[in-house]
Amino acid sequence: MSEIDATERQETQAAGAKHDAAQTKVSVASEPNTRKRKALLALLGVAVVVSAAAYGAYYMTYARYHESTDDAYVSGNLVQLTPQVAGTVVAVNADDTQIVKAGDRVVTLDNADAKIALGNAEATLGQTVRQVSSLYVNNDFYAANVTQKQSDLARAQDDLHRRQAVADTGAVSAEDIAHARDTVTAARAALDAARQQAQANRALTDRTTIEQHPNVQAAASRVRDAYLAYARNTLPAPVTGYVAKRSVQVGQRVSPGTPLMAIVPLDGVWVDANYKESQLRSMRIGQPVTLTADVYGGKVKYHGRVVGFSAGTGSAFASLPAQNATGNWIKIVQRLPARIQLDQKELEAHPLRIGLSMDVDVDTRNNTGPQLGAAMNTSYRTDVFAEYGAQADAEIEKIIAQNIVPLHAGSTGNVVSSVPSAKRDASDKSGAKQRAG
């Protein structure tokens, strides 16, 4: 048993020696790996520290002064083309994607009925001008009639005076004197009637001209109304732009206000950038903006500035606004649209279309500007319809000039009597004396 125990002990010692030798080899081999791991961890720590320092420097010098978003889209005006009168479409001169210039005839309606109405109104105006012209001519006629009646009264008064002068001699009978006195009375009454007629006619023409006479002005207004209805059968393009959303067809019956197509002026588009409410702390009107469009990529950069903020968030103006007062309420970060005006030259070099996606970066370093816009209103206007009124006025002037009756030379149009007022007053006094006698 002792020999066996000795053998086992020797084997155990040998195995232990082998194990120790193996562990020594493993430890010797793991020392380089440990040093390498420590070096990598040290490098990683240095990299983290450097990165944190670099980001801190980047944030302090750049990032904290910039607010970016990709929730931004190109917006613009959609100018609707709508008729002002009812009619049947007989021509459409533009289609989607085509450009039209301001004043181009885009849609034409059937104008047969309007043309007839315009002709009737023009004929009525011409007739009215001639009738009013006759009133001014009658002023001279009634003035001449007053002069004739004054002459008749003067002759009758002279006859009465001569008879009264020889009445005492018996050369003239009392009956002749009575007839002469009646003749004077009748002549005076005829003169008064002539004067009233002249005054009544003068009341229709006093302090006005044929062109400004109320009857002529009323007829001219009817011509203007008929002319506008006739001219409005042609629909011009209000602005220069591209045709979109064309729905009108030839032969279609349209009524006032029916949308026929939209005209998009791409030279005046802007960008609506929808920023989170937490990004608006330092954003102000007037801050510079850098933008890129997905359609052109990052190589093409646009520059602009913030010109205003919406008066409410998108959810507040939604068709179905959120009911935040309900019990099952969940807080959602809201977004507020900011309008950005683009540089016109850059926009001409690289045109944008409505609805395109944009990436927006606002430089908020200078935050001294206002958050709300100043009291200034943007004005959009078109003058393509103004020429209708000018054309109507020109047509009215032409009709009046063709139908006016020229007065003879020296006529004032308002003359009541050609007898001097002093002589007329003396005649009236003489008549009063005769009536008293």
Summarize pLDDT for 162-213 with one digit per residue, the tens. Answer: 777 777 776 777 777 788 788 888 888 988 888 888 888 787 888 888 888 9
For the chain, which residues make up each domain, given as ranges? 113-230+390-436, 265-363
**Dihedral in degrees, nearest 10, Cα atoms 432, 425, 152, 409:** -160
Taking alpha carbons only, the member of 42, 5, 133, 97 closest to residue 403 is 133
Q: CATH topology for 265-363?
A: Elongation Factor Tu (Ef-tu); domain 3 (2.40.30)
Structural contact between residues 246 and 95, judged by C-beta atoms closer than 8 angstroms: yes
Q: Which of 157-166, 225-234, 314-323 shows the lowest mean pLDDT across its residues? A: 157-166
pTM for the predicted model, two decimal places: 0.69
Predicted confidence at residue 431, as pLDDT, reads 39
pLDDT at 410: 44
**197 φ/ψ sector (left φ>0, alpha ψ -120 to 50, else beta):** alpha
The pair of structure tokens assigned to 241 is 């732009």
Average pLDDT of span 34-42:
82
Confidence at residue 34, expressed as pLDDT on a 0 to 100 scale: 82
User: Alpha carbon 293 to chain centroid distance?
Assistant: 31
Average pLDDT value for the chain: 83
- 231-269 exposure pattern, b = at least 16 Cβ within 10 A, e = fewer: bbbebbbbbbbbbbebebeeebebeeeeebbbbbbbeeb
Q: Say which range, 228-232, 240-244, 376-380, has the weakest mean pLDDT.
A: 376-380
Q: How far, in whole angstroms, is CA 72 from its chain's centroid?
A: 28
Looking at the predicted structure, is the pLDDT value of residue 5 above 80?
no
Mean local confidence (pLDDT), 357-383: 85
Give which of 345, 277, 328, 323 is closest to 71, Cα–Cα: 277
Q: Are strands 335-342 and 261-264 parallel, antiparallel or unpaired?
A: unpaired
